Structure 1
Amino acid sequence: MIYTVTLNPALDRQIWVEDIKYDESNRIIKEATYAGGKGIDVSRVLANFGADNVALGFVGGFSGEELEGRLLNDGVRCNFTYISANTRTNIILNDEKTKSQTLFNAIGPEVQPQDLMRLIKQIQNLPNPEYIIISGSLPVGVQPAFYNKLIDTSKEVGAIVVFDTDGRAMKVGLSSKPHIIKPNIHELERLVDKKLKDINEIAQEARTICNKGINIVLVSMGAKGMLCVSSKEEYWACPPPVEVQNTIGAGDSSVAGFVLALKEGKSLKDALAFAVAAGTATTTRPGTAVCLPEDVELIYKNVTFRDIA
């Protein structure tokens, strides 16, 4: 069984306008709401492929109920930990003229210490945890060390742990040695505290992280594809050119594709190609992590590999 853990989920409200005019009234031409949050995005993509998975994390209030209801309608099984505060709502503004996308991410609710321990106890009693994907930002009042407890507990129950977050939380969480991490290029630069000029520098930093006890490092690089480094194998996969409509959830879709491929017994190289296809497919559709199997299969056939050195 695959489980996803999202500590700070959100309702993503997407708004489309023809041409944003500042200091004036702007008419909304279209709007939509999606259940969001990095782990939740992964669960939605897995569900699209018919992969059995359960979404875990914190939800609360009417917005939390709406989020869970939307996930249920998307075919995602949920077993959330309920808190007293409202789940956050993010605003995503799309300008049709410039094809630009502006994100307004809410801070989110404060999570109490007792809520944290309820989630830990839940993970200690999960049935058949093969993969546990821990991703996203921390809620108000939760310190990065909680990721250590989550990772340690997930490893103790025998799961392969996939970790995807940013900043200090990533740095702290790495000390618990999750099996797989998936920073994007900007997150990797923050992790290593320096700018990375080319694929060789990116690969070298990924190797350094692997040498510290991380089994697989995936680095997403947008249109330049994705790098995969393990102790024995290294690959750089690139997507075919596509018309990008949206970037929200592309990295999470890649995580879902990678884990699904590994679970199905694909090689590391094929899993990387499937991850690139899933992330790229998401960029071709409006909405949050809208990743359709037919799009992925078409793109997967056209993923290419390049030499790192």
Structure 2
Amino acid sequence: MIYTVTFNPSLDYIVSVEDFKLGITNRTSSELMLPGGKGINVSTVLGNLGIENTALGFAAGFTGEEIIRQVEHMGIRSDFIMVPDGISRINLKLKSIDGTEINGCGPEISEAAVAELMEKLEVLGEEDVLVLAGSIPSSMPDDIYRRILKRLQGRGVTAVVDATKDLLLNVLEYRPFLVKPNNHELGEIFQVELWDRKSVVSYARKLQEMGAQNVLVSMAGEGAVLAAQNGTVYETPAPEGTLVNGVGAGDSMVAGFLAGWMEKQDFRHAFYMGVSAGSASAFSERLATREEIKHIYVQMTGK
């Protein structure tokens, strides 16, 4: 079973505003409200690919209830912990101005709630996959990813981590199966700027030397790079297509990679499934469907 954890889920309110102007009332030309957060996005695309998984995390208030309702409506198993203080986030995504977002803070997470999550993770063992993805609320301990992987050490759990800076660096000693920074996040770790695939390779290998088994680096329009544990480096430019909505593309890449790996245990196949899923989401109003992913996979690989 694949389990995803979203520590700070959200309702993503995705809107388009024609000719947006500051200081006046703007009206939307399109609206979409979806459950968001990196782990939930991974769960959604896995579900679209027909892979059963369970979404875990924290939720609060009426927004938390709506997140859970929408997740379950999509056919995804959920086991969220409802916390009493605050409300889950509403994140505003202004689609017509690419990259413009206003993200909420999220609820207060108590030590008791963290302990409850730890108890839920006790069931994980051999052949289970755990995806830890995204930011954490400010009320949570900043070593929470490390604490989780330390607790699961030696159980044969396949760990996937999609996080930034210390959240990522703190877990490398536990040799996660996959980490997925983007090129800017990878550059931030090593205090360099990485703009092309060639420059990414040596720093992806540095993360391997620090403990990561496989390093998948997303690069938006520049494509992607995979430094695989078999010593091979895979890279590809981005497939052709029109960017519609970049929200969740990196999370879709994680889901596609996992789906490909579970299908064939082949790094090349997993890599192209990841790139296909990430690109399909970027080219769509919503997260990628199986058909959209398959279409791009065939376009990239010829089969």
Query: Structure 2 length normalisation: TM-score?
Result: 0.94
Partners of 2:154 and 2:79 lie apart in 1 by 20
Corresponding residue for 2:4? 4
Aligned residues: 300
Give the C-alpha shift of residue 243 in structure 1.
Answer: 0.8
> Secondary structure of 1:22's match?
coil
Give the C-alpha shift of residue 302 in structure 1.
Answer: 1.9
Q: How does 1:105-144 map to 2 (within 5 A)?
A: 105-126=103-124, 130-144=128-142
Q: Deviations over 1:70-125 (max 9, x none)?
A: 01111111011221131111111122xxx634111112112101111111111012
Give the C-alpha shift of residue 198 in structure 1.
Answer: 3.5
Q: How does 1:95-174 map to 2 (within 5 A)?
A: 95=96, 100-126=98-124, 130-174=128-172
C-alpha RMSD over aligned residues: 1.7
Give the C-alpha shift of residue 177 in structure 1.
Answer: 2.7
Partners of 2:25 and 2:226 lie apart in 1 by 46
Partners of 1:197 and 1:34 lie apart in 2 by 31
Corresponding residue for 2:254? 255
> Secondary structure of 1:194's match?
coil
> Secondary structure of 2:130's match?
strand
AA aligned to 1:277 is S
> Secondary structure of 1:100's match?
coil
Matched, 1:221 2:219: yes
Partners of 1:39 and 1:8 lie apart in 2 by 9
Partners of 2:99 and 2:185 lie apart in 1 by 20
Q: Is the 8 A contact 1:273 1:303 kept in 2?
A: yes
Matched, 1:268 2:267: yes
Partners of 1:183 and 1:233 lie apart in 2 by 18
Give the C-alpha shift of residue 239 in structure 1.
Answer: 3.1
Corresponding residue for 2:76? 76
Unaligned runs of 5+ in 2: none
Partners of 2:177 and 2:209 lie apart in 1 by 12
Q: Is the 8 A contact 1:17 1:28 kept in 2?
A: yes
Corresponding residue for 2:233? 234
Amino-acid identity (%): 33
Q: Deviations over 1:28-60 (max 9, x none)?
A: 222111000000000011111111000011111
Give the C-alpha shift of residue 255 in structure 1.
Answer: 0.2
Corresponding residue for 1:48? 48
Q: Is the 8 A contact 1:237 1:303 kept in 2?
A: no
Partners of 2:133 and 2:217 lie apart in 1 by 15
Q: Is the 8 A contact 1:239 1:304 kept in 2?
A: no
Matched, 1:184 2:182: yes
Give the C-alpha shift of residue 244 in structure 1.
Answer: 0.8
Corresponding residue for 2:289? 292
Partners of 2:262 and 2:153 lie apart in 1 by 17
Partners of 1:242 and 1:252 lie apart in 2 by 18
Could you say if the C-alpha distance between residues 133 and 63 of structure 1 is closer, same or farther in structure 2, counting changes exceeding 3 Å? Answer: same
Matched, 1:282 2:284: no
> Secondary structure of 2:138's match?
coil
> Secondary structure of 2:139's match?
coil
Give the C-alpha shift of residue 238 in structure 1.
Answer: 2.7
Give the C-alpha shift of residue 266 in structure 1.
Answer: 4.1
Matched, 1:301 2:301: no
**168-177 or 238-247, which deviates more:** 168-177
Query: Structure 1 length normalisation: TM-score?
Result: 0.92
Q: Is the 8 A contact 1:6 1:57 kept in 2?
A: yes
Give the C-alpha shift of residue 22 in structure 1.
Answer: 1.7
**133-142 or 173-182, which deviates more:** 173-182
Q: Is the 8 A contact 2:245 2:282 kept in 1?
A: yes
Give the C-alpha shift of residue 20 in structure 1.
Answer: 0.3
AA aligned to 1:264 is E
> Secondary structure of 1:138's match?
coil
Unaligned runs of 5+ in 1: none
Give the C-alpha shift of residue 126 in structure 1.
Answer: 3.7
Give the C-alpha shift of residue 128 in structure 1.
Answer: 6.2
